Amino acid sequence: MSSTVISNIATLVTNDPSPDGSSPLGPVRDAAVVIEDDRVVWTGESSKAPATDNRVDAGGRAVLPGFVDSHSHLVFAGDRTEEFNARMSGRAYSAGGIRTTVAATRAADDADLEANLVRLLDEALRQGTTTFETKSGYGLTVEDEARALRLAARHTDEVTYLGAHVVAPEYAEDPAGYVALVTGEMLDACAPHARWIDVFCEKGAFDGDQARAILTAGKARGLHPRVHANQLSYGPGVRLAVELDAASADHCTHLTEADVDALADGNTVATLLPGAEFSTRAEWPDARRLLDAGVTVALSTDCNPGSSFTSSVPFCIALAVREMGMTPDEAVWAATAGGAAALRRDDIGRLAPGAYADLTLLDAPSHVHLAYRPGVPLVAGVWRRGVRRV
Q: Residue 52 interacts with ligand NIG (CB under 6 A)? A: no
**C-beta closer to Fe ion: residue 226 or 367:** 226
Cα dihedral angle (208, 210, 213, 219), rounded to 10 degrees? -80
Q: Residue 87 interacts with ligand NIG (CB under 6 A)? A: no
Letters for 299-338 (x = contact with Fe ion by CB under 5 A, - = none) are: ---x------------------------------------
Helices and strands, counts by H and E, the chain: 15, 16
- List, as one string, the DSSP characters of 240-301: HHHHTT-SEEEE--S--HHHHHHHHHSS-EEEE-HHHHHHHTPPPP-HHHHHHTT--EEE--
Q: Residue 136 interacts with ligand NIG (CB under 6 A)? A: no
Q: Which of 125, 276, 361, 379 binds ligand NIG (CB under 6 A)?
A: 276
Q: How crowded is residue 257: how many other Cβ atoms within 10 Å of its Cβ?
A: 9
DSSP state of 125: H
**Binding piece for ligand NIG, criterion CB under 6 A, among 34-42, 305-313, 327-335, 370-378:** 305-313
For 139, counting Cβ atoms within 10 Å of its Cβ (0-12 exposed, 13-18 middle, 19+ buried), the class is buried
- List, as one string, the DSSP characters of 23-73: -TT--EEEEEEEEETTEEEEEEEGGGPPP-SEEEEEEEEEEEEPEEE--B-
**C-beta closer to Fe ion: residue 135 or 350:** 135
Region 316-375 residues binding ligand NIG, contact defined as CB under 6 A: none
**Binding piece for ligand NIG, criterion CB under 6 A, among 5-13, 97-105, 292-300, 330-338:** 97-105
Q: Residue 158 interacts with Fe ion (CB under 5 A)? A: no
Q: Which of 145, 259, 302, 358 binds ligand NIG (CB under 6 A)?
A: 302
Q: Residue 198 interacts with Fe ion (CB under 5 A)? A: no
User: CB of 234: closest distance to ligand NIG in angstroms?
Assistant: 15
User: CB of 67: closest distance to Fe ion in angstroms?
Assistant: 17
What are 249's strand-pairing partners? 227, 270
Q: Is 224 annotated for ligand binding? A: no
The distance of Cα 250 from the centroid of its chain, to the nearest Å, equals: 9
Residue 314 backbone phi and psi in degrees, to 5 = -55, -40
**Binding piece for ligand NIG, criterion CB under 6 A, among 28-36, 188-196, 259-267, 304-312:** 304-312
User: CB of 304: closest distance to ligand NIG in angstroms?
Assistant: 4
Distance separating alpha carbons of residues 320 and 299, to the nearest angstrom: 8
**C-beta closer to Fe ion: residue 80 or 350:** 80
Cα dihedral angle (119, 121, 125, 129), rounded to 10 degrees? 150
Strands 129-132, 159-164: pairing kind? unpaired
**C-beta closer to ligand NIG: residue 102 or 213:** 102
Q: Residue 237 interacts with ligand NIG (CB under 6 A)? A: no
**386 contact choice in Fe ion, ligand NIG, none (CB below 5 to 8 Å, kind-dependent):** none
Q: Are 271 and 196 in contact (CB under 8 A)?
A: no
For 152, counting Cβ atoms within 10 Å of its Cβ (0-12 exposed, 13-18 middle, 19+ buried), the class is buried
Annotated binding site for N-formimidoyl-L-glutamate: 138, 304, 306
Annotated binding site for Zn(2+): 71, 73, 228, 302
- Binding residues (CB under 5 A) for Fe ion: these are 302
- Binding residues (CB under 6 A) for ligand NIG: these are 73, 97-98, 101, 200, 228, 231, 276, 302, 304-308
Annotated binding site: 71, 73, 80, 138, 165, 228, 231, 302, 304, 306-307
